[in-house]
Structure 1
Amino acid sequence: MINPNLKGKAILITGGNSGIGSAMTEQFAEMGSKIIIHYYDKEEKATQLVRTIQESGGEAVAIYADLRQEQDIDQLMEKSIKAFGTVDALINNAAACVLDTIFDTTGETIDEHFEMNARVPVQLMNRFVLLHKEQGKKEGSIVNISTDASQKFARQISYGASKAALEAYTRSVAIEAGPHGITVNCISPGPTQTGYIDDQLERMVMPDIPMRRLGEPKDIAEAAVFFASKQARWITGQVLLVSGGHYI
């Protein structure tokens, strides 16, 4: 069902061609939005999503970028503007996740996480806010994707810590971007089945989920749609657990 508040809005989704990102791409397309699918790998999946959206009468483009490279961030924004004239909402979804513990973590592992999960989203938010100032836009939305385990994540200590940093940036940027009509919020998903949760892990986490089911990518996508819509126009600086009650 098309949401009149999102119809025709240009939505940039990083990592928009797989997992939760793919679900967000599909959900925003259903709302009538114009979709900019950023991808780093799985090009075929990105082009297939574009084709599916276009065949349904929607508008979408797929843009490659290695977000670790600052020039690629600039090119991603430039190509997005060239495609649709502006970017109305930024969804920071792309992330790095490698297992590490205090016994085996390295400087390289720490840097890899904080580069993708904290520095890159901040740089994208910077470009987004500057674009809105330059274009004189009165409203916009940023949605960052974290994890509900950001405050403690044994066996993934750098991933959890880098996402905690992203949540802190969310609150600070919300204060600075608010006067420009931009809301900045964060979604912290619980255990969500994107293919990585096997039967053993599901049995392990299920007792800690009051709703007694794993999350689906669409659960996260629908929360992102809400934050980008006018229904959330007076909500900013918030971190929302979308977790079925996990880690409440």
Structure 2
Amino acid sequence: MKSERPLALVTGVGRRAGIGAAIVARLAATGWDVACTHWSPYDDRMPWGQDEGRDEIAAALELEADLEDPATPSTLFDRVTAELGDVRALVLAHCESVDSGLLDTTTDSFDRHFAVNTRASWLLIREFAQRYRGPRGDGRIVALTSDDVVGNVPYGASKGALDRIVLAAASELGPLGITANAVNPGPTDTGWLTCDLAAALATRTPLGRLGLPRDCANLVSFLLGPEGGWINGQLLTSNGGLS
């Protein structure tokens, strides 16, 4: 059912322990209706597998979305707007992320990373901008990015390309009243870190701990709100001072 609350679409909400789920929870608690996507075959390929408790995620609508398919962004927006109304904010939290370096990355993996992390993000931004009907100045785009690239070449390279697309959106979509920013949350404790790596990263961080999903969610919530309306075209690193 459509409501009077503004609507956000958040991609990449596959696990309750992830940043995407924290963003959904924070937005739902601060006055947003939220539609979100996940892609079960990706989780099946990863060590953690599927999260059977996804029904606890506080979204008004949750959809499977194969973002490797270039037709998905359009059909996704069709479904969301038909069921919940016009989207006011787009949060790109999805990713393809499989570790490999310069010498062992396959062409299939390289192409899949760019299809999901870069091309799909561009197409989602385009759909959002073409369909935006909200008040001028209230439209928001936030994309999660990363500067991790050594030993993770296709992921880091595709995220670097995403950054450029977001910066272009900040300029080109400004006349529509839409802001666009990228957020780099740094290493975040979502269950993928080994104990040794987690301890090493916490030691290197001035605040003495790892990033938590809610840390990123709080920043995204601020950027989507009225107080964040003058922040545009920024690549924001929010990692407790690690870098």
Return closer, same or farther for 1:82/1:44 CA change in 2, 3 Å cut-off: farther
Q: Deviations over 1:228-247 (max 9, x none)?
A: 11101111110111101122
Counterpart-to-counterpart distance in 2, 1:159 and 1:70: 19
Q: Deviations over 1:78-111 (max 9, x none)?
A: 1110122100000011101011111211211211
The RMSD of aligned alpha carbons is 1.7
Give the TM-score taking structure 2 as reference length.
0.88
The amino acid across from 2:235 in the alignment is: V
The amino acid across from 2:62 in the alignment is: A
The amino acid across from 1:21 in the alignment is: G
Counterpart-to-counterpart distance in 2, 1:70 and 1:194: 28
1:70 to partner: Cα distance: 2.4
Give the TM-score taking structure 1 as reference length.
0.87
Q: Secondary structure at the match of 2:90?
A: strand
Whether the aligned pair in 1 keeps the contact of 2:88 and 2:134 (CA below 8 Å) is: no
Counterpart-to-counterpart distance in 2, 1:80 and 1:46: 19
Whether the aligned pair in 2 keeps the contact of 1:171 and 1:237 (CA below 8 Å) is: yes
Q: Choose which of 10, 13, 25 in structure 2 pairs with 1:13.
A: 10
1:208 to partner: Cα distance: 2.6
The amino acid across from 1:222 in the alignment is: N
1:17 to partner: Cα distance: 3.7
Name the structure 2 match of 1:30.
29
Name the structure 2 match of 1:74.
74
The amino acid across from 2:68 in the alignment is: R
Q: Secondary structure at the match of 2:173?
A: helix
Question: Which moves more between the two structures, 212-221 or 112-121?
Answer: 112-121
Q: Secondary structure at the match of 1:70?
A: coil
Name the structure 2 match of 1:245.
241
Whether the aligned pair in 1 keeps the contact of 2:187 and 2:211 (CA below 8 Å) is: yes
Whether the aligned pair in 1 keeps the contact of 2:68 and 2:112 (CA below 8 Å) is: no
Residue 160 in structure 1 maps to residue 156 in structure 2: yes
Q: Which runs of 5+ in 2 are unaligned?
A: 41-49
Name the structure 2 match of 1:199.
195
Number of residue equivalences = 228
